[in-house]
Amino acid sequence: MAARNLDRSFGFLLHDVSRLLRIEYNRRVRHLGLTRSQWRVIVHLSRNEGSTQTFLADILEIENATLARLLDRLEADGWIERRPSPTDRRAKHLYLTEKPAAIIDAMSRISSQLQHDTLDGLAPNERERLIDTLLGIKRNLLQMTSAIESPVDSLSERKVAAGD
């Protein structure tokens, strides 16, 4: 009985779908030559160029030291560059080089195809209803956590408001 309940448990099901989606996406982008952690940094940096390391670490929900190691490797390989802050001599702002442009496009195409494949068999109105339902759930969760405001929460709220 307990296993059956877990199969229909919202939290378990959402986690399993998310995990399987990550596994399949990783499989599809493996040929691009970046680790999952590296492409996450590149994608988030493409949306937040000029961010500081601390801001990016908050968005990625990883420790600053972990991000520093990823950034060191990406910088050494020519994917990103660090530029000094004009207002804080200790801070560096992060920018993509020209190198990731083609990979970001490829990742976007792969992501679109994966979304299409994942939602295969659902009618267009069912797809829209699913997205609307998930957005509603996300809004509810953001409201529950709004007392603990962070850059991640603010970013997520802006994206929900913008319909992303």
What is the pLDDT tens value at each position of the chain, 164 positions in all? 455 678 889 999 999 999 999 899 889 988 988 887 888 899 999 999 999 999 999 999 899 999 999 999 999 999 999 999 889 888 899 999 999 988 888 888 998 999 999 999 999 999 999 999 999 999 998 888 876 655 555 555 544 444 44
What pTM was computed for the model? 0.68
Domains of the chain: 22-116 (1.10.10.10), 119-164 (no CATH)
4, with CB counted inside 10 A (0-12, 13-18, 19+), is exposed
pLDDT the model gives residue 147? 62
- Residue labelled with tokens 């937040």: 48
- Tokens, residue 106: 């490829």
Cβ-contact 126, 134 below 8 angstroms: no
